[in-house]
């Protein structure tokens, strides 16, 4: 009898099956983790701020890289992790011992939550790079337009840096022997807090023109107060560099360099986005064909809206920008089919069970389930109706905080319970989006046969016109299903019953594909490329 196929569960080249009691990428299968601290992944121009711009300096972009000890795999998925912090430094540049300069309870690679999650993910078998990004804007500017100008420029620099980090690793794979042992087709952007703004925005900001055409003209302004000149975009590529950080940007008056290109010519693409809090600069930027997304958020977050709202400067009533949060973005992604690798994964995600605790006592209008969304309902602060006791319950620190009325959470055990949930929700969804056979096999029961066992080969590969798939003569192919990188079924070839099959390109578009080849004993997977 032919086994059941799970068509959207395997759309990328899968990794070798591990024989261990726990399952890689679902469980922590490694005991220890090594961390290479303070590595450079690029350098770019930072705009220094106090209450006014102080100047522009070239800053090295730093990261800490976590890898599982004793791992023999050399093609592991990579997570790029971006911390929180309001796009401002946690330590006062004039007095580094003064913590909380950004008004937050964290904002560095060494934050407790960042270290905890990066360590856990590395123990699950991932390579994780916890990345800094450029900081600086004036949250106390005199008008909401100036504050909006400052925040979109800060976010734009952060998006450029995240894409620079992607290209750094791609360049390392191509030119430096892949020293971190990654599979650069399986890259995840993971943002926490302010980093969540980065991961939500960079997943949808795929065309510069989206900035001047943003909803309600929010990113154009009358910069010179001259009625004879038209408004201009708050971001201009010749000044700020392109959306990837691959072109030079120059200040029009001073001539200072605002963007230095890094690792030009390598792809900035990635496979999956994750946000813990944060919001999107503009929900109108969501389009079909964008990367899948996994979101965690507090529905009553008063700093990053769950649905839609105005972001204020923390600790003030100063308005900054209208944004859309995880609820809106998740439902748009699902409606556009971007979540199909999760929706059609081949297993039923029990969202009712997964989100029962999250929805407990929450407002009825936040209980609409989305396959990639986990809301953390929080009780109100005493005496503050509608204000949650925490907008980031996964964070903790030993730092007391700068506001005695709003102290930082010091209970690491309580925060780790939220991180437990984050990992349980993230892991199976990432398995299907990234095409990780170890956990897919565990979750679906699909029998994955290593190619070597049945002699599955493909040539030429890459190919221009056709690819020949061959197997050992005693393992005839029964059926072939071809999927594109978004997990969409492109072609089905049935009743083959032979050990050689010629796959004609025909109407297939140029790109990377995955063939699920069905045998009597199970299923094998082969990555194919048509040029």
Per the rule left: phi > 0, alpha: psi between -120 and 50, beta: everything else, 74 is alpha
Tens digits of residue pLDDT in 66-120: 999 999 999 999 999 999 999 999 998 888 888 998 889 999 999 999 999 999 9
At 402, is the pLDDT very low, low, confident or very high (cuts 50, 70, 90)? confident
Tokens of 30: 């490694």
Tens digits of residue pLDDT in 344-399: 876 777 666 676 666 666 667 767 788 999 999 888 888 888 889 999 999 999 99
Res. 197: pLDDT tops 90: yes
Structural domains of the chain, with CATH = 33-443 (3.40.50.1820), 449-530 (2.60.40.3080)
Beta pairing partners, 274: 190, 294
Distance between CA 511 and CA 530 in Å, rounded? 5
Of the candidates 398, 318, 286, the one whose C-alpha atom is nearest the C-alpha of residue 86 is 318
At 1, is the pLDDT very low, low, confident or very high (cuts 50, 70, 90)? very low
- 110 three-state secondary structure: coil
Query: For residue 149, what are the CA distances in angstroms to 105, 152, 284, 323?
Result: 25, 6, 19, 14
Res. 5: pLDDT tops 50: no
Q: What is the pLDDT of residue 258?
A: 95
Q: What is the pTM of this model?
A: 0.82
Q: What number is the average pLDDT over the span 441-453?
A: 77
Q: What is the pLDDT of residue 433?
A: 94
Distance between CA 81 and CA 75 in Å, rounded? 19
Q: What is the pLDDT of residue 223?
A: 86
At 25, is the pLDDT very low, low, confident or very high (cuts 50, 70, 90)? very high
Q: What is the pLDDT of residue 227?
A: 87
Q: What is the pLDDT of residue 123?
A: 98
Tens digits of residue pLDDT in 218-237: 999 998 888 889 999 999 99
Query: Would you say the C-alpha torsion 9, 12, 18, 23 has a positive or negative sign?
Result: negative
Query: Which phi and psi angles does 334 have, rounded to 5°?
Result: -70, -40
Which helix (H) or strand (E) covers residue 502, if one does? strand 500-504
**What is the residue-averaged pLDDT of the chain?**
89
């Amino acid at each position: 009898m032919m086994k059941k196929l799970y068509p959207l569960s395997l759309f990328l080249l899968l990794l070798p099956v591990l024989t261990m009691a726990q399952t890689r990428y679902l469980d922590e299968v490694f005991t220890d983790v090594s961390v290479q601290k303070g590595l450079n992944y690029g350098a770019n121009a930072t705009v220094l701020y106090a209450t006014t711009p102080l100047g522009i300096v070239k800053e090295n972009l730093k990261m800490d890289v976590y890898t599982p000890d004793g791992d023999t795999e050399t093609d592991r998925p990579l997570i790029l992790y971006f911390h929180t912090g309001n796009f401002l430094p946690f330590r006062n540049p004039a007095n580094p011992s003064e913590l909380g300069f950004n008004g937050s309870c964290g904002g560095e690679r060494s934050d407790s939550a960042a270290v905890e999650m990066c360590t856990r993910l590395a123990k699950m078998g991932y390579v994780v790079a916890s990345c800094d990004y450029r900081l600086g804007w004036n949250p106390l500017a005199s008008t909401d337009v100036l504050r909006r100008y400052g925040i979109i420029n800060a976010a734009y620099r952060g998006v450029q840096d995240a894409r620079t980090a992607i290209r750094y690793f791609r360049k390392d794979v191509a030119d430096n022997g892949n020293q971190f042992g990654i599979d650069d087709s399986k890259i995840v952007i993971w943002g926490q807090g302010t980093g969540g703004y980065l991961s939500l925005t960079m997943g949808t900001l795929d065309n510069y023109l989206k900035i001047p055409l943003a909803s309600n003209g929010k990113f154009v302004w009358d910069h010179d107060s001259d009625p004879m000149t038209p408004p201009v975009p708050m971001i201009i590529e010749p000044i700020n560099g392109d959306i990837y950080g691959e072109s030079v940007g120059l200040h029009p008056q001073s001539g200072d360099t605002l963007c230095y290109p890094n690792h030009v010519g390598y792809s900035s693409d990635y496979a999956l986005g994750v946000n813990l809090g944060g919001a999107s600069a503009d929900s109108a930027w969501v389009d079909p064909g964008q990367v899948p997304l996994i979101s965690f958020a507090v529905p009553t977050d008063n700093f990053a809206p769950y649905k839609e709202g105005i972001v204020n400067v923390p600790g003030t009533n100063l308005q900054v920008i209208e944004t859309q949060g995880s609820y809106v973005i998740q439902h748009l992604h699902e409606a556009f089919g971007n979540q199909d690798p999760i929706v059609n994964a081949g297993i039923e995600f029990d969202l009712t069970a997964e989100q029962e605790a999250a929805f407990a006592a929450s407002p009825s209008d936040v209980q609409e389930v989305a396959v990639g969304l986990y809301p953390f309902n929080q009780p109100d602060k005493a005496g503050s109706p509608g204000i949650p006791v925490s907008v980031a319950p996964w964070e903790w620190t030993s730092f007391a905080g700068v506001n005695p009325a709003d102290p930082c959470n010091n209970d690491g055990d309580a925060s780790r319970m939220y991180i437990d949930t984050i990992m349980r929700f993230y892991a199976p969804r990432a398995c299907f989006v990234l095409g990780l056979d170890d956990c897919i096999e565990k979750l679906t029961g699909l029998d994955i046969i290593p190619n070597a066992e049945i002699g599955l080969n493909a040539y030429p590969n890459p190919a221009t016109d056709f690819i020949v798939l061959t197997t050992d003569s005693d393992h005839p192919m029964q059926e072939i299903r071809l999927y594109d990188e978004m997990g969409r079924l492109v072609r089905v070839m049935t009743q083959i019953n032979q050990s050689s099959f010629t796959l004609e390109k025909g109407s297939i578009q140029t790109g990377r594909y995955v063939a699920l080849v069905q045998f009597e004993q199970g299923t094998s997977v082969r990555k194919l490329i048509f040029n």
